[in-house]
Chain A
Amino acid sequence: MLRVSLREISAALKEGRVSPTELCQRCLSFIKATKFLNAYITIAEDTALKQAEESEERYRRGQILGDLDGIPVAVKDNFNTAGIETTCASNMLKGYIPPYSATVVQKLLDQGAVLLGKTNLDEFAMGSGSTDGIFGPVRNPWSYSRQYREKSVQNSHTENEDSNWLVTGGSSGGSAAAVSSFTCFAALGSDTGGSTRNPAAHCGVVGLKPTYGLISRHGLIPLVNSMDVPGILTRCVDDAAIVLGVLAGHDPKDSTTVQDPFKPFELTSFIDASKLCIGIPKEYHAPGLSSETLALWSKAADLFENAGAKVIEVSLPHTRYSIICYHVLCTAEVASNMARFDGLEYGHRSSMDKSTEVMYAATRREGFNDVVRGRILSGNYFLLKQNYETYFIKAQKVRRLIANDFVNVFRNGIDVLLTPTTLSDTIPYVEFIKEDNRTRSAQDDIFTQAANMAGLPAITVPTALSEKGLPIGLQFIGRAFQEQQLLTVAKWFENQVKFPMIQLQGMMDHGHTVCRHQKSAFFS
């Protein structure tokens, strides 16, 4: 039952085939069974059960709040949640209990969703592997899938099964792993440089990055103010549209949200592909792109063409500089945003108190890990008076060139761009840690961060399995605020490729055992 989509489980709840409390309990026990994935930092068991009971009461009275009523969801741990510990996987905020909830979290709760817990991430969302938080790395559920295990038995040398697990990608790896391993039906992530789409592609789920300014960032602990957006992770494109419909819209508490009214939409299954124009940016064949991903990208282009769409090669000439530009702007904004952590009003506080400066320095030394400190120092370097013009302003100019590249392409009649999401499928943790965080981010974010620079919506759709049995995703980038068109194309593509469901050995049996004990009429 946990394997179905959000839409299907919502229908089941409305028809009374399953109750919210039963669903919540199953998800909670499944979370316990998949604890070794380390996807969750905090599990809000008591509040979740209470929310589920309230939802059940509403179903009984026939007064449900919407499609999300009673649906278990998870939220990345850099969103503030009132009364539930929010840590950003950092010592700086360990034990911090926010007095308010982020707007997006509140919107989910107002629709009756059941918040299961907070998911794991890279510390302060800095990283592309979900390996650098203080609670440890997140394991990719596909490491335990039958598809991967069968292939690795054929290919592998004698390696200890348990030590060769794969990374989820980052930084919203916990959210991606939670959705992929069926412990929740939707999860919130954040996307600054690809942090939602990267783990979504590696975990075989749908990852949507909405247009900058569509969804409120109030309550999302900021990394890069001009590029952050809350991201949505679900198992299919329809579900992403449902969640987007709930979250999007102007928020008076976030003045960077646009004031245009947002109308939630339903996706049609049929599109007239002959009216579509798909762009293939040639610079997205970057060095290091795996031949499997390349082949899938080619096949996807062919797929659209055979359906009657116009598939045109386009050029985004500044692509190769976008990762460097992102690096400068990201570290500069991070240096500014991390300045709020001084230990005075919240978070960790050092016991050294000779002066405020000494206390701040000691607090930040104790609270931040290497990655965060490294980015703060780099950012400060680029913002020094002598470097401001040559690095920061230069990067802002390059940003405009990159954004203009996209504007030009879309102005020439392209509806949607089709690109790879990642260079290849995911790799084992022991290999991932051979390079440092910055190098990995520079490699892994190469296709995803341009959309953040330009503020455009982008979605990754799981496309096929690699030879190792691991998911590869392809990315669609759309015009600003045209999520309906983007999601329609993505949904059509999803229906064509029919990505296989993950087959988790042993874990589903446990789920069945729980099912039998609870005598539910609804069987998976």
Chain B
Amino acid sequence: MRKSGGGRMWILRFGRYIRGAPSGGASYWGGLSPGRRFTQAAAGGSDGRQDAAGDPRRRGRVYQNPTWQHVEQRPLPEKKVTVEVFDHLERLALVDFRNWEGVQRLEKAIQFADQLHAVNTEGVEPMDSVLEDRCLYLREDNITEGNCSEELLRNARETVEEYFIAPPGNIPLPKLEERDTFLQVSE
């Protein structure tokens, strides 16, 4: 977690006033000097807010200290993600890991996501969309546009007449041992 202030120590003390710098004479916070207000409140509350007075953690309504901390991420158990899984992912996604960084990126992502298991979701339904209470709009099945095959074909690199050209299909990717992939090396 990056410390704020870029190396300088920002010490959070009750009543300490950090001033942002206005410039060009721009009026600021409606003209009232903020410093004065803070020291007034620190002196025990001439503004009549009972709950702020006496509670050193609270300044008005905002807590002065973080109300939670990041949990130490547990390292993944040994061999949780096997080479078979990596290979499977490369085939499914048709995207390669390329190098150690790629593999570590995935492991860190899984570590990060594992923190979710701490939440109790007993009896909670999964949420697909925030608009789940509404019906999706369906328009009438009428043709309103089309006849633009030339425009669409223009963006494809290989075409013949009105066809997109694809290489031969139904040929699975070569197996891990025969493929030119970083995972082979990492074995």
Q: Which residues of A contact B (CB under 8 A)?
A: 96-99, 146-147, 151, 212-213, 226, 250, 252, 255-259, 280, 282-283, 285-292, 294-299, 301-303, 305, 311-313, 318-321, 324-325, 327-328, 331, 335, 342-347, 349, 353-361, 364-365, 368, 370, 373-374, 376-378, 380-382, 384, 390-391, 393-401, 403, 423-424, 427, 431, 435-436, 438, 442-443, 454-455, 463-467, 469, 472, 480, 496-501, 503
Contact = CB atoms under 8 A, between A and B. Distances in A.
B125 interface: yes
Nearest to B24: A500
A338 to B, nearest CB: 8
B146 interface: no
Contact of B93 (A344, A347, A377, A435): A377
Contacts of B141: none
A345 B20 contact: no
A172 B114 CA distance: 29
Contacts of B148: 99
B95 A361 contact: yes
Contacts of B116: 321, 324-325, 328, 391, 394-395, 398
B156 A346 contact: yes
B98 to A, nearest CB: 7
Contacts of B130: 212-213, 226, 403, 454-455, 480
B87 to A, nearest CB: 12
Given A295-B18, A301-B61, A496 B30 contact: yes
B156 A394 contact: no
Q: Which 6 A-B pairs have the closest CB atoms?
A: A455-B130, A396-B126, A290-B4, A355-B171, A464-B20, A400-B127
A122 B182 CA distance: 26
Nearest to B156: A345
B102 interface: yes
Interface residues of B, number: 94
11 contacts: A99-B152, A282-B63, A291-B11, A327-B109, A355-B169, A356-B166, A356-B168, A370-B98, A370-B102, A376-B93, A401-B121
A21 to B, nearest CB: 30
Interface string B1-39: 111111000111000111111111011111000100100
A148 B55 CA distance: 36
Given A301-B61, A373-B95, A396-B126, A381 B89 contact: yes
A353 B23 CA distance: 61
A287 to B, nearest CB: 4
A396 B116 CA distance: 11
Contacts of A335: 93
A286 B29 contact: no
B162 interface: no
